[in-house]
Structure 1
């Protein structure tokens, strides 16, 4: 049974973590489900925005399910759990559609890294963020010391990862990590996401790629995606493919 659900309601999609007995902590199967849903979302042309949320409990996401990976051999832990998790969270970060994390409770470790992979974050007043990995003898593995350092100042990252401090929602807004604090972050996230229906999906996608290229979020892929989108709409591409199919020299119109 999946512990991550994809629900589509008109132009908006919702990705919902559903593992409340373990504080919505990630299992290996949940990573696979997230990757599968991201692939599905790319094929959903009618979806313009995605809200990421979780079943209500004490945590939006407590990170990784420690019990699920405690017996993994060290080499497999590095090769699979860390690298695959990193790759799948990158897949979420690089969705062509804008994403909003609705953080209704605490986001720790992998849960914080998951929220950081979204384009925008809305937090409940009681929610906090933290990187508690060193307290159990490990380090952040899903971009907590990489992508997160583009979203928060270095001293704040060190507060969390070295000293175990939790950062409350109000301070997250002051630091620019969260857009706002709302009593019902899911409702607020959907309200913000609904505005995407009034914008050009292609322009929004291109703008997201441009920003990602500027901040170094897979810059080479973002630049090539922009170039591919530009040439993909050209008559030169149409002529080139037609010439190849008919085994003749192309006569490019230049537009």
Structure 2
């Protein structure tokens, strides 16, 4: 049985972690489920927003299940475990629609990194954030020292990484990492998704690409996506494809000139 569920309703998807007995700690099977669902979402033309939630109110996700990686060899740890998490979290960050993480409780280690891969975050007052990896002899491995440095002050990130201290929801809101703190974070997240649905789908997607480029999130890929979209809508693309199919030279025109 899957421990990650996907529900789609009227253009809004809910991705729900469902491993509450282990505080939604991520297992290899859960990572595989996340990736499988992302493949569905990436090809859904009607998708407008994704809300990432977790079962229970004790924890959003306390990171990677230590039993899943503790006995891996150093090379397997780097080659499979770290790279798999990076690949999947990067796919979340690159989704063509806005994503909202609902932090119903603890977001530790990989759970905090998972929340950071989303565009927006809504937290319960009980939520706490932490990067406790150095306490078990490892370091943040799923972009905790890379993506997070774009989202919170360097001094605070160093405090989390080097001391393992926990960050309260209110402090995370004050620092700008969390968009709001609410007694009903899931309800607020879906209200935000409803607002997003009222906006232009194409403008929202392009704006997300532009923001990603500005934040150095896959900057080169975002620039090429924007350029590709512009050219795909151009008369030159239409003429080029038509000429290729007709096996004739293309007749490109300078459409920037007004000859009227």
TM-score band by shorter chain is over 0.9
Q: Structure 2: how far apart are the matches of 1:136 and 1:146?
A: 20
Deviation at 1:131, TM superposition (A): 0.1
Task: Give the secondary-structure state (helix, strand or coil) at the position aligned to 2:231.
Answer: helix
Give the root-mean-square deviation of aligned CA atoms. Answer: 1.0
Deviation at 1:38, TM superposition (A): 1.5
Q: Which runs of 5+ in 1 are unaligned?
A: none
Q: Structure 2: how far apart are the matches of 1:116 and 1:165?
A: 18
Aligned positions, number: 255
Determine the structure 1 residue equivalent to 2:66: 66
The answer to which of 171-180 and 36-45 deviates more is: 36-45
Q: Structure 2: how far apart are the matches of 1:31 and 1:11?
A: 23
Determine the structure 1 residue equivalent to 2:258: none
Determine the structure 2 residue equivalent to 1:189: 189
The answer to which of 7-16 and 240-249 deviates more is: 240-249
Q: Structure 1: how far apart are the matches of 2:45 and 2:254?
A: 29
Q: Structure 2: how far apart are the matches of 1:173 and 1:64?
A: 25
User: Stretches of 4+ moved more than 4 A in 1?
Assistant: none
After TM superposition, the score normalised by the length of structure 2 is 0.96
| Cα-to-partner distance string for 1:171-220 (whole Å, 9 max, x where unaligned) | 01100000110001100000011111211111000000001101100100
Q: Structure 2: how far apart are the matches of 1:201 and 1:42?
A: 15
Determine the structure 1 residue equivalent to 2:206: 206
Tell me if structure 2 keeps the 8 A contact 1:23–1:57.
no
Determine the structure 2 residue equivalent to 1:27: 27
Q: Which runs of 5+ in 2 are unaligned?
A: 256-260
| Cα-to-partner distance string for 1:95-135 (whole Å, 9 max, x where unaligned) | 01000001100100000000000000000001010000011
Deviation at 1:170, TM superposition (A): 0.4
2:79 matches 1:79: yes
Determine the structure 2 residue equivalent to 1:235: 235
Task: Give the secondary-structure state (helix, strand or coil) at the position aligned to 2:2.
Answer: coil
| Cα-to-partner distance string for 1:113-159 (whole Å, 9 max, x where unaligned) | 00000000000001010000011111000000000000011111111
| Cα-to-partner distance string for 1:52-85 (whole Å, 9 max, x where unaligned) | 0000142110100111122211101101100121
Deviation at 1:254, TM superposition (A): 4.3
After TM superposition, the score normalised by the length of structure 1 is 0.98
Q: Structure 2: how far apart are the matches of 1:86 and 1:4?
A: 18
